[in-house]
Structures are given as C-alpha cells and as structure tokens.
Structure 1
Amino acid sequence: MIDWRNGSDLDRVAELRIDPEWVLAAWSDPDAVLLRVGEASVEAGADGSLLTRRVEAAFDPEVHYLLGRIDGRPWFATRVRAEEELTALRTVMDGLPAVGLQAAFTAVGLTTWHDVSRFCPRCGSATRAVHGGQSRKCTACGLELYPRTDPAVIVAIVDPDNRLLLGRQPVWAPGRYSVFAGFVEVGESLEQTVHREMAEEVGLALTGVTYLGSQPWPFPRSLMVGFLAHTTRDEPVPAVGEIELARWFTHDELVVAMATGEVILPPHTSIARRMIESWLDGSLGS
C-alpha cells in the first residue's frame, strides 16, 4: 500500500514537459503507455489490475496528457466518455500497487480538470493545453491556468477517555463509518476549517488540533489533510441532512463492531482508514 509521506515513483519531468518537442518525442517513445480514465474510473483487468495501452494514435495535446515517467517510461492519460468500458476507481484502488495508484489518482484528477477548463475564466475565450497538459493557456488574453486541487480537512476526534468519534452520511452503504471531513473555504486556514467543520457537523468545540498527514483524493480532485483533535465528553449533535449518526467508540467496542460487520471502515488506500487504524494500534499522533 502506498505511503503518501514518502517521495513518489512518478517523475513529473517538470523541466522537460515545457518543451513541446520533448513531449512529442515522449509520445513516440516505443515504451510509452496510455492510461484511459473516466470521471472516477479507470481501465482495469478482470483481476482489478490497472491496464495501460501502447501509444499508437497521433499525438493530440487536447486529449493526451503527460503524467510523467515511471521507471523511465513515459505515461500519458486520456479521458474516455464511454464509462461502461471502465471500472470504478473506488472498487479497485485498494489492490493497486503504489505507483499505479499514484498514476490513477493523477490521471483522474488531471483529466477532470481539463474537462471544465476549456474556456478562459477572465475573457471567455477558448484555452489550449500546454506543457504536456499540465496547464492551459487562453488563446486570446494569454491567461495561464493550472490544475486545481481543492483542500479538505479530515479529522479524528477523541475525548478525554480516548474514545474515537465516528459517523456516517445518509448516502453511504449500510454499516460504513468514518472520521469527519469538510472543504476549506476562502480565507480560512486549515486549522480554522477543522474547528468550523466539526462544529457544523457534530456540534463539538475542539482543542489541541494536530497535523497528521495528507493524501490526494481524486473524487474529483481534492487534497485530504488529516488532523487529530481533542474535545470534551460532550455528546455530538449530528448536522441534520448531512450526518446520519455520530457515535463514540472505545477501542474494544470498535474491534467488536468491525468483527461482527456492524461497522465497515473506509478503503485501505484512504487516509481515513489509516487514521482509524493508527488510533486502534495506539500510534495516532505519535
């Protein structure tokens, strides 16, 4: 499983991708591969492995986007409109090797951004892909656009008895529980977002907010920033329509609930799962 705290095996070739001739040569490399993705899906085999295709068509900078190099091989991504040809990324991501997961997350986020960035937000003119698809440029006013990442906080809340607060949204599958998350708003620090979101979602005042780590989350293109926060023994007040249930768990209660199937945790590749498991083994925040 990938450890997002380490360096990446995906070389993003920042100095090389600005040269269109180099990007074209990378596309023509006999070892180059193409990853086909959808809005939140990838091309996968029957065993859940990530599938790539040999590069064969003529290079089109508006539909072929350079991800970088993996083990020296150029990797490109393209958007597929026929979603039925693809597999939901959430269903296979736990089984992907670290570098494949990084490539899939990057490809889905990048192609999603291109889909909604084809017109200039300043003058309304068409934009064109440049730098291998790592940015776009307005054809009229010259404004440069870069892939957007939306920051969101995800928070493990514990009380003085070291109970962990987990909750579920109404739209989740039965039994699915997780820690709490929310998007950063304009003019907020990450820590301010933690306080505001947790007050909104479960009505709790927090103390001792501590940074834990982060990871990309391509649904559609977020950066999840994890925090540990402490609170009093107050009971949570779930936000109506957003949080169906919020419940304190002791270590033993959560172990039993997981064993019986009463509680199903988030995917292994999510920072939420890593935070919960770290609390279970006593290493959260250490």
Structure 2
Amino acid sequence: MDGIIREKARGLTFGDSGIDRLAEARGDISALAADPAARCLLFWRGALLVDGEHPARLGLDHPLLALSDQPLILLGQAASGPVFAQDISGWRPPEGAEEPPRHPAFTETQALTDLRAVMFGLTPEDGELTATARALFSWHHTHGFCARCGAASEIVQAGWQRSCPACGGQHFPRTDPVVIMLITSGDRVLLGRSPAWPEGMYSLPAGFVEPGETIEAAARREIREETGVAVGPVRYLGCQPWPFPNSLMFGCEGEALSEEITLDPVELEDALWLSREDLVQVFAGDHPAIRRPRRGAIAEYLLRNWLADRVD
C-alpha cells in the first residue's frame, strides 16, 4: 500500500499524493505553461477558488489570472498535466461587496472559501496541491524584503525562491515544525483550547519546536509550559503539512507523569482531562460543551484512533 493510500485510509488531508514537483523545471516554465493541459489554482487573501466542492482549475488564459502582477507558481505535474497557482490578493472588490467577494468572472458554481472548510473532501492530489500553494503564498506575503539588507526581493524559480537584487541574497520557503501531542493518563486524554478559538472548540496541545530541540523534547516542554503536566517518554506517530500558515505538524503520543493542570493563560483558556466515554460523545456530536474536532486534521486522526485503541 503506497503512502497516500495509507494517509487517506487514516483520514488525513494534505498528505503525500505522489505529485512530481518538477524542481528541475523551475528555472524555465515556459514549455510547461504552453502545455494546453496546464491548469492553475487561484487564491485571494488565503481563500481558495472552488468550483462546487472542488478546487477550480483554470486555464492559463483565464481572465482572472490577469488580476495579479506576480509570476505563476509551479506546483508540479498532476495526473492531468502541469498545475500552477496564482494569488490575486491585490484585487480590491467594490466597497460594500459581500464576504467572501465574488468577481464578475466567477461562474455560478465558483466561489472563494476557506481551505479548512473543504479540506476533508479533497482528493489526495488536490490536498497536496492546495496545501503547497497556500503555504507558498503565505511565505511570499511575509517575506517580500531581503533579511540581509532590507531591499525588496524578487520571486524567482517559479515561486520557490526569492532573490535580492541589491545584495544577492537568496531566500527559500520556510516550514515551521510543530509538535501536537496525544497525552494520556489511563483512560483519559489531555485537551486544551486557545482563547481565540470558537466556542466549544478543544484540541490536542501543540507548539513550535525550538532551535536545537528534538521533537520529543519539544513535546514534553510544550505540555509542561502550557498545562504544568509532566510527560514521560514520547513517541513520534506521523506528520501532516498544515498550511495555516506554514507548519508541519508532528503527531506524538506520551504518558502523563502527573495530572494536576496549571494553565498558562497566555497560551490556553482552558485545559482538561477527557474520558473515553466523554470522547465518544464528542465524536457523536452529543457532548454538551465540546464540539467534534475538524475532520482531516491530525488532531482528529489521533483522537479517533486512540478512541478505537489503534494508535500506531
């Protein structure tokens, strides 16, 4: 069974679909762009253009692409042909336009949407393509100037590099490593919620890996800092790209050595130990205080498989 079949079977979005990223072609994409089968994904301020329930794949001559003055980003070779992405965040809808806005060139079935709203229904190929595009656009949005000299940098290598014309600095897309932890104590699991989250939303604790730190050490440190709970040995389970904005989530499990919770109020509004019985209610949508976790996300996968006693 290949990697993406395993990923889809376990319910994760944004896994490895086997896309050829065509790194060797990034220096000159003219032949790929001239391919009649070439298509383009479209983003506007982080939102994805969908057609019905699927990402819209536009021809490279579509008028919407002319709304951007930035070069196309090459995502790779899909089953149907080369796929690019374009960001039209510079387009300003008319004042008072609906949210999300609609451009006159949209068809009746096309609309802008949050990628998280459609992520579980994506095919493996669409999941990898959309995650890659969104993460790259986010990086370009926040890295428009050279970190060495401060001059404006330019997009090169089909979107996979920024070059500084002033000092010659070369900058490459970054991915932030994040640990997300399934911490258990007997038949209970540790959950927390951020102050900014919607009402009823709880998830597994997570945090960034610091420089010079292993994944396992980061998991223990983050749990201790956010909840005061001590954790013993930590085991890596799997990972998921998470393009909100540029993370790679490392799923881990560990056994708690203590249960008393001392919150860091800056990081968490609440944390609690949830029993298996209560988690059954959560997944059934019947819990009075906690909503079901987002399908397709690694937190949901870890919790669902722990509930079924098949975390591996």
TM-score normalised by the chain length of structure 1 = 0.90
Measured in 1, the distance between the counterparts of 2:142 and 2:55 equals 25
Q: From 50, 54, 58, give the equivalent of 1:49.
A: 54
Does the C-alpha gap of structure 1 residues 38 and 189 become closer, same or farther in structure 2, counting only changes over 3 Å? farther
Can you list the C-alpha shifts for 1:132-153, whole angstroms capped at 9, x where unaligned? Answer: 1111221122221111111111
3-state SS of the aligned residue for 1:230? Answer: strand
Alpha-carbon distance between aligned partners in 1 of 2:254 and 2:87, rounded to the nearest angstrom: 39
Q: Is the 8 A contact 2:14 2:124 kept in 1?
A: no
- Which runs of 5 or more structure 1 residues have no equivalent in the other structure? none
Aligned-residue CA RMSD in angstroms? Answer: 2.2
1:12 aligns with 2:38: no
CA deviations 1:143-194 (Å, max 9, x no partner) are: 21111111111001011x2311112222222222211101122332222211
- The one-character-per-residue Cα deviations of 1:101-158 (angstroms, maximum 9, x if unpaired) are 1111111111111122222111222322222111122112222111111111100101
Q: Are 1:190 and 2:215 counterparts?
A: yes
2:231 alignment partner in structure 1: 206
Counting aligned pairs with the same residue, the percent is 36
Indicate the SS of the match to 1:34.
strand
TM alignment of 1:73-152, pairs within 5 A: 73-81=81-89, 82=91, 84-85=101-102, 86-152=112-178
Of 75, 89, 98, the residue aligned with 1:67 is 75
Counterpart for residue 218 of structure 1: 243
Residues 138 and 152 of structure 1: CA distance in aligned 2, closer, same or farther (over 3 Å): same
- With structure 2 as the length reference, what TM-score do the two structures score? 0.83
Out of 133-142 and 195-204, give the one that drifted further.
133-142
1:77-118 CA distance string (max 9 Å, x none): 111225634211111112211111111111111111112222
Gaps of 5+ in 2: 1-7, 92-99, 103-111
Q: Which residue is 1:277 aligned to?
A: 304
Q: Structure 1 residue 7: deviation in Å?
A: 4.2
Letter in 2 for 1:196: R
1:240 partner letter: P
Alpha-carbon distance in 2 for matches of 1:6, 1:170:
29
Counterparts of 2:282 and 2:115, CA distance in 1 = 27
Instruction: Label 1:6 to 1:90 Cα distance change in 2 as closer, same or farther (>3 A).
Output: closer
What SS does structure 1 have at the residue aligned with 2:50?
coil
CA distance in 2, matches of 1:185, 1:88: 29
**What's 2:34 paired with?**
28
| SS at 1:239 equivalent | coil
Letter of the aligned partner of 1:62 in structure 2? Q
Which amino acid in structure 2 is aligned with residue 272 of structure 1? Answer: A
Shift, 1:240, TM fit: 1.4
**How big is the shift at 1:16?**
2.3
Distance 2:61 2:32 in 1: 12
Q: For residue 156 of structure 1, what is the aligned residue in structure 2?
A: 182
Q: What is the distance in 1 between the residues matched to 2:206 and 2:256?
A: 16
Is contact 2:276–2:307 with CA below 8 Å preserved after alignment?
Answer: yes
* Structure 2 SS opposite 1:157: strand
Aligned pairs, number: 280
Paired residue type of 1:31: A
> Which digits, 9 at most, give the CA deviation of each residue in 1:245-282, with x for residues without a partner?
21212222211244314322322111111110110110
- 2:201 — aligned with what? 176
| Structure 1: distance between partners of 2:283 and 2:159 | 43
SS class of match (1:120): coil
2:153–2:164 CA contact under 8 A, matched in 1: yes
- Tell me, in whole angstroms, the C-alpha distance in 2 between the residues paired with 1:7 and 1:44: 21
- The answer (yes or no) to whether the contact 2:182–2:189 under 8 Å persists in 1 is yes
CA distance in 2, matches of 1:42, 1:127: 25
Report the alpha carbon displacement of residue 233 of structure 1 after superposing the two structures with TM: 4.7
Cα distance in 1 for residues equivalent to 2:207 and 2:114: 23
